[in-house]
Amino acid sequence: MSRFSKIFRSFAVADGLVLAYLLELNIAVLRAAPHPMRTRSLLEALGLLATYVVCLGLVRSGALGSNVWRALLYRIGIYGTVQQSYVFFKHLLPVVNPGSLDHQLFALDHALFGFEPAVWADQFVTPATTEWFAFFYFCYFFLLAAHIFPIVFGSRDQMLLGEFMLGMLIIVCVGHTGYILVPGFGPFRAFPELFKHELPSGMWMDLVWSTVRSNGAQKDIFPSLHTAGPCFIAMFSFRNRDQLPFRYTWPLLTFFAANIIGATMFLRWHYVIDVIAGFAMATMAALVSPAVTRWELARRKAQNLPPLVPLFGSKSASGSAPDNAGRATA
C-alpha cells in the first residue's frame, strides 16, 4: 500500500468535513463577481486551506515525533481554521453573495407562523428585560469557551472528544455555509421602522453591541449559531450525564440555551426561521456525531490506525481502542 493510501485511510470524517468546507469557501470566492475585496478574500480563504492541508498532512502522515505537536497542530488545523474563517466573513460574505434575503425570511415567518417574534417582543422592551437577554446573549461566548477548551484540549476520552468535536464542526461548517447561501442582516437593520422602542443602553447591551460591531460578520443570521451551539452543548451534556461535570451542568445549560434562544429574537438579531434552522442543526449534530464517532473508533481499532483525535501527553501514536462501555482508553 502506498504512503498516500495509508494517510488517506487515517483520515477521519471530521477531517473530510473541514476540507470540504474550506474548499467550498475558495470555490465561492473564485466564482464571485468582481469586487474590491475579492482578492483579499481569496488570499484569506487560500491561507486557511493551505494551513489546514499542512497541519493535517503532518499529523496524519505520522511525520511528527512529538505527541504534543501532533495534538496541537491537529486542533489548529481542524478547529482553528474553521473558527478563523468567521473572522474573515465580514469581508467574504459581501463578495460571495452581495444580496440580502431579509424580506424573504420575514415573509416566510409570517406565512408559517403569522407573526415575527422580534416585532411582537417590542412591547416588552425595558431596561431590565433588555439587560436580562443581553446577559444571556453575551454568555454564549463564555458557554462555548467553557466547553471547547476543557474538552478539546483536556479530555483523554476519545469517544467524548470525538463526539464533541465532530458535533461542533458540523454546526460551524454547515452554519457558515448557510450564511453564504442565505445572507441577511436581521430584523433590527432590515426593518427598523417596525420597532417603536429602542433597545436601551446598559452594561450587557453595550457589550453585545460592541462585540457585534467590531467582530460580527454582519450578514450571519441563517441558521442561528447562537441557537445551534448552546442547544448542541445542552444535548451533548444530557447524553453524557452519567459523567462529571455533565451530571450537574446539563439542567443549567438547558436553562441558558433557552434564554439565549429568546435573546436572539428579543434583541432583534434573528427571525424565528433562523432559530428553528439552528435548533434542527443542533439536533442533527447531536444524533450524528455519537454514531459516527463509534464507527470511527471501531474502524481504527480494526485497522490499527492512529487515534481519532491525537491526545496531549499520550505515550504512543498507536490507535486507542474503545473499551466495553464504548469509551476509548489512551
pLDDT tens per residue across span 184-202: 999 999 999 999 999 999 9
Say how far apart CA 270 and CA 273 lie, in whole Å: 8
Give, in degrees to the nearest 5, the angle at Cα 266 between 263 and 272: 90
pLDDT value for 211: 86
pLDDT value for 316: 41
Instruction: Sort 285 into a burial class: Cβ within 10 Å, 0-12 / 13-18 / 19+.
Output: buried
Alpha carbon distances (Å) from 207 to 41, 89, 136, 226: 28, 21, 12, 16
What is the average pLDDT across 289-307?
Answer: 94
> What is the band of 46 on the pLDDT scale with cuts at 50, 70, 90?
very high
- Grid cell at residue 220: 450571519
pLDDT in tens, 205-264: 999 999 887 776 678 999 999 999 999 999 999 999 999 999 999 999 999 999 999 999
Q: Which residues of 169-204 are buried (b: 16+ CB within 10 A; e: fewer)?
A: bbbbbbbbbbbbebbbbbbbebbeeebeeebeebeb
pLDDT value for 216: 67
Average pLDDT of the chain to the nearest whole number: 91
Phi-psi region of 62 (alpha: psi -120 to 50; beta: other; left: phi over 0): left
pLDDT value for 208: 93
- CB within 8 Å of 110: residues ≥ 6 apart: 116
Residue 315, pLDDT above cutoff 90? no
Residue 300, pLDDT above cutoff 70? yes
At 247, give phi and psi (nearest 5°): -55, -35
CA 282 to chain centre: 10
What is the average pLDDT across 40-61?
Answer: 95
Say how far apart CA 313 and CA 69 lie, in whole Å: 10
3-state SS track over 77-113: HHHHHHHHHHHHHHHHHHHHCCCCCHHHHHHHHHHHH
pLDDT value for 1: 54
pLDDT value for 172: 97
Classified as helix, coil or strand, 205 is helix
pTM of full prediction above 0.85: yes
What is the average pLDDT across 116-129?
Answer: 96
pLDDT in tens, 134-175: 999 999 999 999 999 999 999 999 999 999 999 999 999 999
Residue 321, pLDDT above cutoff 60? no
Say how far apart CA 208 and CA 218 lie, in whole Å: 13
pLDDT value for 323: 42
pLDDT value for 139: 96
Instruction: Sort 24 into a burial class: Cβ within 10 Å, 0-12 / 13-18 / 19+.
Output: middle
- CB within 8 Å of 241: residues ≥ 6 apart: 247, 250
* Cβ atoms within 10 Å, residue 286: 21
- How large a percentage of the chain has pLDDT more than 70? 93
> What is the band of 330 on the pLDDT scale with cuts at 50, 70, 90?
very low
- Grid cell at residue 136: 444571556
Say how far apart CA 180 and CA 272 lie, in whole Å: 19
Residue 266, pLDDT above cutoff 60? yes
Say how far apart CA 218 and CA 38 lie, in whole Å: 17
| Candidate from 32-41, 219-228, 231-240, 316-325 with smallest mean pLDDT | 316-325
